[in-house]
Homo-oligomer: A and B are copies of this chain.
């Protein structure tokens, strides 16, 4: 009997912890014998609005383009680090999809769960920095409450 494909969404960011969450996911959720797993790596870029500063100054289009370029480079570097983890764990056989979202991380992640029909969401407990966390609340808290699938919150020991 063919098993239904299982889609696991892993939210990755610049944090060590999100890379640890990815390792945990590969080691614990993906059994070697079940090839019917699809792992979706989701990186969320901040929305363009974040670039306009609070004092009301308008950035030049060049500055915006530079920041946009920087944020794409960040996304690339996160995806590269993820690739390193697959190599280290000999997990290159896993079916992977890379997705970059734009917007408020917690909303984008929850929406992605529904749109991609993910069976499980895996993410680090922190991420997105202390100050953002204090201001906006924890991304993982929100997702644990609102994502429409089982959520794994991985804390780095």
Contact = CB atoms under 8 A, between A and B. Distances in A.
A91 interface: no
A111 interface: no
B151 A145 contact: no
A125 interface: yes
Interface residues of A, number: 25
Interface in A130-157: 140-141, 144-145, 147-155, 157
Contact of A31 (B6, B31, B148, B151): B31
Contact of A144 (B21, B24, B140, B147): B140
B144 A150 contact: no
Contact of A29 (B6, B29, B140, B153): B29
A33 interface: yes
A61 interface: no
A116 B61 CA distance: 56
A148 B144 contact: no
B144 A149 contact: no
17 contacts: A6-B28, A28-B150, A29-B29, A31-B31, A32-B33, A33-B33, A125-B144, A140-B144, A141-B141, A141-B145, A148-B155, A149-B157, A150-B152, A150-B154, A151-B152, A151-B153, A152-B152
Given A149-B155, A151-B152, 10 more contacts: A24-B150, A29-B29, A32-B33, A125-B144, A144-B144, A148-B155, A149-B157, A150-B153, A151-B153, A152-B153
